[in-house]
Amino acid sequence: MGYLFTSESVSEGHPDKVADQISDALLDEFLRQDKESKVAAETLVTTGLVVLSGEVKTNGYVPVQNIARRVIDRIGYTKSEYMFDSGSCGVISAIHEQSEDINRGVEREDEDSQGAGDQGMMFGYACTETVEYMPFPLHLSHLLLVELAAIRREQKEMTYLRPDSKSQVTLEYGDDNKPVRVHTIVISTQHDEFDEEKTMLDQIKADVKNILIPRVKAKLSAEEASLIDEEYILHVNPTGKFVIGGPHGDTGLTGRKIIVDTYGGKGAHGGGAFSGKDSSKVDRSAAYASRHIAKNMVAAGVAEEVLVQVAYAIGVAEPVGLFVNTYGTSKVDLTDGEIAAKINTIFDMRPAAIVKRFGLKNPIFEPTAAYGHVGRAPYTDKVIVKENGVDVEKEVEFFTWEKLDFIDQIKTAFGL
């Protein structure tokens, strides 16, 4: 008998994601001003108010209130009836300087021996369920909300949409752990006032089924789209009216959507959040590096499903351990321990090496703060950075940890 597995996502307008995006926008601006900035930015959003806090060490100056308002405006909180809008909300900053006790263990004269910014364990995961090497329930959950946000911005259909929304996908798997069909989709979306509640519920459900779902299926591969048959269960705004939402409906905090940010409950999670942290914090950089390893291993054919764990001691450059689990899907005649030992010789997991490998001193983090830090397509874009006090246009790569650039090395090492 098969089983059901569920993952969820939240939109860029969800209060916790608003907080994440502000924190990462602050990080980007500090890095734009000074690439050596050390940042741990935390944000709280609630009715009419944004509170910025955390620790920073930088030679740059950042107008933090302006950055917060820009992000809120981009997300779509631009109307006073939302009770939280970019033009009128208060912004309070309590950001202070980073502790020297922490900094002394991180910065070294020899950059390559830079210590980890904290202790802890980080996980990366990949599987063959989608072309992005991501679990399908989470991939579909993200895509539903990406398309819902696109519809909202187009203002051609579903013009009642507001920024806050959530999705959830339950997938049926067979005994062989392969996806069989989408069992249930849940969509909850904030909306404008309607004159009549039943009319509202009927219209939103019809629009989700007839507008949103077809647009999403068109973005999937043929094999993935076939998993959404005519028999799936659809719940839309199951509690009814959803006019009050966003930071007015629920206080948001940085770092509260760590499963949405990663693998939707598949694999494992070390507990550390990502947004607002510069790359000296291995919570972020080593989690990206672990995903990079897992994705390249699956793409190289080592296994159909891979979990990678790396762990650090604060102030120590070399990881204290590397663990690999292939869930019995390995295609090579080696134990998981032997696979881990080989992987350890291919990838340099010292913090400074990770930063160099992925270009993590560039201002590339705001786009990561909604719809997942992993499973995204790498791309190149131009950014403005300050060099010797002058603004310079620079081409940088985003989502570099998603690149399949170690397949050949892995195949050679494993004789594939």
Binding residues: 14, 16, 42, 55, 98, 164-166, 241-242, 250, 256-257, 273, 277, 281
Alpha carbons 391 and 36: distance in angstroms, whole number: 16
Q: Is 103 exposed, middle or buried (0-12, 13-18, 19+ CB in 10 A)?
A: middle
Question: Which strand ranges, in their side-by-side order, compose the sheet holding 305-312?
Answer: 120-127, 305-312, 321-325
Return the closest-CA partner of residue 149 out of 131, 166, 132: 166
Binding residues for Mg(2+): 16
Determine the residue type at 383: V
Binding residues for ATP: 14, 164-166, 241-242, 250, 256-257, 273, 277
Binding residues for L-methionine: 55, 98, 250, 281
Contact 274, 117 (CB under 8 A): no
Q: Is 49 helix (H, G, I), strand (E, B) or coil?
A: strand
Q: Is 322 exposed, middle or buried (0-12, 13-18, 19+ CB in 10 A)?
A: middle
Alpha carbons 48 and 133: distance in angstroms, whole number: 40
Contact 52, 24 (CB under 8 A): no
Alpha carbons 393 and 375: distance in angstroms, whole number: 27
